Structure 1
Amino acid sequence: MNFKSIPLFKVFGIQVNLDFSWFIVFFLITFTLAEAFYPYYYPGHSFLVYLFVGAISAILLFASVLLHELSHSIVAIKHGIPVREIDLFIFGGVAMIEEEAPSPKVEFLVAIAGPLCSFALAFLFFILAYFYPQNDLLNGIINYLMYVNLALGLFNLVPAFPLDGGRILRSIIWAKKDIITATKVSSWTGTMFAYFLMLLGLLSLIQGSFINALWYGFLGLFLKNAAKVSFEQTKLSVILSQYKVEQFMHTIKPVLPDETISEFMLHHYPMYNTRIFPVIGKDGKIYVVDIFDIKSIPQTQWDTIKVADIAKPLVAYVSPYDTLMKALKLMNRYQLNELPVIYGNTVLGIIKRDVIESLLERYMLQEKFGR
């Protein structure tokens, strides 16, 4: 069963979501702190008190993770790279940055922003601990947040793609080579680091530490898969960013608002091999009609129903000067196979998913056979 992320709020125009897997680590951290950390260092309180403080600590930890990801996002947006959302999940958080950085310098700045934020938070909590030296639970929360932010910053600096350190490594290699080579090398280091974590998991299992073994194992598997996926996404982005939508779109004329379904099916539909058709509404706005919706209407009603009456609002579209990568991302985001191509308020055509996929297949075959 697939669960959708829970939308929380927007900050700087970025949607923040909470994945259901977050609750797993939230309860693990809460109970670990309540049963071990706080009773050991700050004895004398009931389990319920420790549980409450552990929950507060877990929430503040993820607030720190959110600030880490926001730092990446703000720097990306400042350099013209759109950021759709931030997802908080079992292994922390991830900012959904829409495009590759335009240069090694921007890649470096976006990557380094997260660790710098974590180190700044660690220093802030260090100062708070210095001016609040009492041996109580509040001091415990401050110290915990100091150490975890320091650990978060250091862990992310490991030169293993797609961790921040891997992206920093990629930016350095990219400045001397090309982005594909840079991503290939940094992804390899990411894979090696993933295997190292899985080895630590195996050693922990041999030593009888089952929980540590699970964490190392799952984190290693996650990073291994992420390194592979990130490399493939980078290749895809580089290929599709070379082409504009206008080079591959199917030219199509919009349907006028007064056309009946019968007129549309007789004069318009046979001319174009597409599923969706742009429709000019009576208000001057552009809508779309899906041929599947028309086919669900009995033919006896086609003479009386106008196409504009069954048209739907435009969900997404591209301009002729957008890249194929942007078109594919919009298709994936909204689960579409076709997008209208619109310039200003003028309909120019349709771009199809299968055209983009055919282009990618051609590149993959050329790469496979070394042509």
Structure 2
Amino acid sequence: MRDSVRLGRVAGFPVSAHWSVGVILLLLAWVLAGGVLPQTAPGHSAATYWLGGLVGSFLLLCSLLAHELAHAVVARRAGVEVEGVTLWLFGGVATFRSEAPSPRDDLRIAVAGPLTSLAVALGSGLAWVALDRSPGLDLAAGVTGWLSTINLVLAVFNMVPGAPLDGGRVLRAVLWARTGDRERAAVSATRAGRAMGYALVGLGLVFLLLGDPVGGVWTVLIGWFILAAANAEQEATVTRTLLGAVLVRDVMSSPVVTADPALSVEDLIERQVLSGRHSAYPVVDEDGRVVGLVTLRQLRTVPAQRRDVTRVRDVVLPLSEVATAAPTEPLPGLLPRLTPGSGRRALVLDEDRLVGIVTLADVSRTVEARALLTHPA
């Protein structure tokens, strides 16, 4: 996800936070400090309520992270490659680079998150019971009670049978197991998600007409998010179906124009960039080893007065951070790796030897061409 800040690694997974996390953190703190806590724990100062609100909103973000990490851990055990976890305005998302190998694994991955939220709700509820009986801890009791309720709501809401919610993944797994057709099951799950998205948008509009602007706006936003995500997932499913048994080597561009790591940025721009049509160049050393990738965006970060003394090796994106693929790999399996972080391109390596490059434009062109075979004009 763009505009995200890397926070570190948890359980071996990269964890990032979108800038919108700051917005939701303050919004939740305001809800707690301005309404929930004064009702459940009256008699405290405004500063105390804000402190409790900030702690409560931070704990909720931690529980959302636990929810997504549960998906990631179970996915890793099933052999699914996990790119990382990102927190953002509507919660979080665990990004996978491959698909579950079986309906059973798909089901386990899907239910891991809601079960974690239920566990957090139960633990917070027990803490609320203990704290509520202790004198002087009414504020902490209010925070834990709220945390328990929110996690319970999240667990139940996420199990609604419509993609991209976890309940939609469960529906997909069940239909996959019943029909043996994963793509068909995915389309059915996304259709259910679209229906739910439209329903929530409509419900939000009703709230607005009844004079509840806050509830109405949030319901419309959630419905819009579900609708957009379901549409995107359905499009991805159709794309995988169209690509079928297409291999990476069938769409890759070859031969590839490369860059020398010892070359200065100034020379690279004058010799190759200005006269070429490429926006990225794989960097290959004199021994034929792929060092990484340099893009026009990286070159723009070098000040003009430093280009003649800055080498390509100084600005190269390491190979460990670049998407790669084997020429015989099925193309649909590469799609999850063509992310903005990878520049939406992948280097094709055959036993560490660079043989081609695949961009999202190559994939789009292939999809459009194959669509002509099934949907002639």
1:285 is matched with: 289
Shift of 1:289: 8.3
User: Are the counterparts in 2 of residues 170 and 185 from structure 1 also a CA contact under 8 Å?
Assistant: yes
SS of the equivalent of 1:84 reads: strand
Give 3-state SS (helix, strand or coil) of 2:325's partner: coil
CA 1:47–1:349 in structure 2 vs 1: closer, same or farther (change >3 Å)? closer
Deviates further, 278-287 or 250-259: 250-259
Assess, with a 3 A threshold, how the Cα gap between structure 1 residues 195 and 283 changes in structure 2: closer, same or farther.
same
> Does structure 1 conserve the Cα–Cα contact (< 8 Å) formed by 2:243 and 2:370?
no
Q: Which residue of 1 aligns with 2:34?
A: 35
Give CA deviations for 1:143-171 in whole Å, capped at 9, x if unaligned: 11111111111010111111000110111
Structure 2 gaps of 5+ residues are 265-276, 298-310
Identify the residue that residue 264 of structure 1 maps to in structure 2.
none
Q: Counterparts of 1:253-292 in structure 2 under 5 Å?
A: 280-282=284-286, 285-287=289-291
Q: 1:127 and 1:331 mapped to 2: Cα distance?
A: 44
Quote the residue 1:269 is aligned against: none
Instruction: Give the counterpart of 2:145 among 143, 146, 169.
Output: 143
Counterpart of 2:134? 134
Specify whether residues 214 and 313 from structure 1 end up closer, same or farther in structure 2 by C-alpha distance, changes over 3 A only. Answer: closer
Match of 1:155 in 2: 157
| Other structure's SS at 2:118 match | helix
Structure 1 residues 50 and 361, CA, compared in 2 at 3 Å: closer, same or farther? same
Task: Determine the C-alpha separation between the residues in 2 that align with 1:196 and 1:259.
Answer: 58
Task: Provide the secondary structure at the position in 2 that maps to 1:347.
Answer: strand
1:348 corresponds to = 355
CA contact 1:246–1:320 (8 Å) conserved in 2? yes
Structure with higher Rg: it is 1
Asked whether the equivalents of residues 8 and 17 of structure 1 are also in contact (C-alpha less than 8 Å), the reply is yes
Partner-residue secondary structure (3-state), 1:242: coil
What amino acid sits opposite 2:150 in the alignment?
Answer: V
- Aligned-residue sequence identity (percent) comes to 29
Q: How does 1:193-212 map to 2 (within 5 A)?
A: 193-212=196-215
SS at match of 1:44: coil
Sort the Cα spacing of 1:103 and 1:235 in 2 relative to 1 into closer, same or farther, 3 A: farther
Residue 58 of structure 1 corresponds to 57
CA distance in 1, matches of 2:219, 2:295: 50
Match of 2:195 in 1: 192
Read off the aligned partner of 2:230 and give its amino acid letter.
A
Give the Cα separation in 2 of the matches to 1:25 and 1:286: 42
In structure 1, stretches of 5+ residues that fail to align are 262-272, 294-306
In structure 2, the CA distance between the partners of 1:255 and 1:223, relative to structure 1 (3 Å rule), is closer
Given that 2:259 and 2:281 are in contact with CA atoms closer than 8 Å, whether structure 1 keeps it comes out as no
Aligned length: 350
1:322 to 329, 346, 349: 329
Question: What amino acid is the match of 1:97?
Answer: F
Q: Return the alpha-carbon distance in structure 2 between the equivalents of residues 253 and 187 of structure 1.
A: 38
Amino acid at match of 2:249: E
Match of 1:169 in 2: 171
**Counterpart Cα distance in 1 of 2:61 and 2:119:** 16
Question: What's the offset of the Cα at 1:31?
Answer: 1.1
Measure the CA separation in 2 of the matches of 1:148 and 1:48: 23
In 2: Cα distance, 1:354 partner to 1:61 partner: 39
* Deviation, structure 1 residue 111: 0.3
**TM-score, with normalisation over the residues of structure 2?**
0.80
Cα 1:310–1:326 change in 2 (3 A) is farther
Superposition deviation, residue 322 in structure 1: 2.6
Matched-pair contact (CA < 8 Å) for 2:100–2:106: yes
Q: Does 1:235 align with 2:242?
A: no
* Structure 2 residue aligned with 1:22: 21
1:12-53 superposed Cα distances (whole Å, 9 cap, x missing partner): 232211112222222221111111111112111011111110
Change (3 A) 1:138 1:219: same
> More displaced, 61-70 or 205-214?
205-214
Give the aligned partner of residue 270 of structure 2.
none
Distance 1:322 1:13, change over 3 A: farther
- Report the CA distance shift for 1:70/1:210 in structure 2 as closer, same or farther (over 3 A): same
The letter for the 2-side match of 1:30 is A
CA distance in 1, matches of 2:291, 2:125: 56
Deviations 1:254-294 (A, max 9, x none): 98979999xxxxxxxxxxx988776652466324788999x
* Distance of aligned partners of 1:40 and 1:106 in 2 relative to their CA distance in 1, 3 Å threshold: same
Distance apart, 1:193 and its partner CA: 1.4
* C-alpha distance in 1 between matches for 2:9 and 2:261: 41
Q: Aligned pair in 2 of structure 1 residues 260, 215: CA closer, same or farther (>3 Å)?
A: closer
Aligned mates of 2:89, 2:356 — CA distance in 1: 42
Q: CA deviation at 1:247?
A: 3.6
Residues 276 and 288, structure 1, Cα contact 8 Å, conserved in 2 = no
One-letter amino acid of the structure 1 residue matched with residue 165 of structure 2: L
